[in-house]
Amino acid sequence: MTGEPRVDVRRRRARKRKRQAGMTIVEIMVVMTIIAIIAGAAAFALIPTLKRAKVKQTAADAKTIASAAELYMVETDECPSNVEELVSSKTLKASASTQDAWGNDFVIECGDDGATVRSAGPDEQMGTEDDVE
Query: So what's the pLDDT on residue 64?
Result: 92
Q: What is the 3-state secondary structure (H, E, C) of 84-133?
A: HHHHHCCCCCCCCCCECCCCCECEEEEECCEEEEEECCCCCCCCCCCCEC
pTM of the predicted model, to two decimals?
Answer: 0.67
Q: What is the pLDDT of residues 120-130, one digit of tens each?
A: 888 888 888 88
Mean pLDDT in residue range 30-41:
96
Could you tell me if 100 and 106 are in contact, meaning their C-beta atoms sit under 8 angstroms apart?
yes
Rounded Cα distance, 90 and 15, in Å: 78
Rounded Cα distance, 14 and 8, in Å: 10
Domains of the chain, residue spans? 3-118
Mean pLDDT in residue range 61-66:
92
DSSP conformation class of 32: H
Mean pLDDT in residue range 24-30:
91
- Indicate if the pLDDT at residue 4 is higher than 70: no
pLDDT grade for 5, boundaries at 50, 70 and 90: low
Query: So what's the pLDDT on residue 126?
Result: 86
